[in-house]
Amino acid sequence: MIEGHLHRRFHLAPGFQLYPAADGSWRYSTPAGKFVRISGPAPLLELVRRLSTGAPADVQLTPEDSAAFDQLVTALRGRGVLVEPSGGPGGGRRIHVAGDNPVGTVAADLLRPHADVTTGTVDEGAVADADVLVSCASWLPDTEWRRVDEWCAAHGTAWHRCHAEGTRFALGPFFLPGETAGYRDTRARRLAACPVADELLEQWRYLDGDQPKPPVRWPDSGGGLLGALLAGDVLARLAGRPVPSHGHQLLVDPDTAGITRHPVLPLPRLAERLAPLAVP
């Protein structure tokens, strides 16, 4: 007999379910609503289900059962039902969350089970030490974010952000070095599209300053939706999955639960120096 305390070596792929039917046979269902019958020993399928949900199991397997278990897991992996875990809590990834407000609190809480999360103000050292920076502001901190954008570009640090925009909240775009627009790009494109760019700059200067400003009207439910959107993008990035908001800024209206997606492209990076003109 092979005895041991098996730990999770895999988990169910997102959207899949693994379960027994009323007649004792087993099925898996796919995110697209397809149902597939599985043949195999019921005790081993139950063991797969337990381990795929993160529950360790004390087991006694014969060499034959152990081989059958491995074959079953291999077959389910081949069909995309089971996938490798992305790593335990922490996983060696570091995320810095800035923002003493409901959105920052929710984002940090959702990210802590998956990475090493630090919180507080942002300086270049925090950017350099992090794999991902999440900045949750109240009103738009234009000067600060221009500085942070430069640090993130210099150190190759991904960063996501959120700020209040009237009665709505703007999220992102999530800056992925070499892939998506950063704050510099977003800022320049917004100014170019605004018919009164000078007035927009004046408003940003006011929001940047120390003058009294109205309080941000945070959602009645706290920062749940906004924090979840930020955390979902970050976790997808760390897991190597497509980022849901990739290349877009989201405008979220808490009063209607409406989300509008605006694509934002990086600005062309022009050469800093032109080749000298050759004069015959």
What are the domain boundaries of the chain? 2-83, 94-263
Q: Which pair of structure tokens corresponds to residue 227?
A: 């924090």
d(C-alpha 134, C-alpha 99), whole Å: 8
Question: For position 7, what pLDDT does the model report?
Answer: 45
Question: For position 58, what pLDDT does the model report?
Answer: 65
Q: Which pair of structure tokens corresponds to residue 86?
A: 């992305």
* Model confidence pLDDT, tens digit, residues 46-84: 888 888 876 666 667 788 888 888 889 889 989 989 887
Question: For position 240, what pLDDT does the model report?
Answer: 86
pLDDT tens sequence for the chain (280 residues): 334 444 446 788 878 899 999 999 999 999 889 999 998 889 889 888 888 876 666 667 788 888 888 889 889 989 989 887 654 444 568 999 999 999 999 999 999 988 899 999 999 999 999 999 999 999 999 999 999 999 999 999 999 999 999 999 999 999 999 899 999 999 999 999 999 999 999 999 999 988 999 999 998 777 789 999 999 999 999 988 899 999 999 999 988 889 999 999 998 865 444 445 454 4
Question: For position 122, what pLDDT does the model report?
Answer: 94
Question: For position 9, what pLDDT does the model report?
Answer: 66
| Domain 94-263 listed as CATH 3.40.50.720 | yes
DSSP assignment of 135-183: EE-SS--HHHHHHHHHHHHHHT-EEEEEEEETTEEEE---B-TTTS--H
Question: For position 5, what pLDDT does the model report?
Answer: 40
d(C-alpha 68, C-alpha 66), whole Å: 5
Question: For position 90, what pLDDT does the model report?
Answer: 45
Ranges assigned E (strand) in the chain: 2-6, 11-12, 17-20, 26-29, 35-38, 57-61, 82-83, 94-98, 116-119, 132-136, 158-165, 168-171, 248-253, 258-263
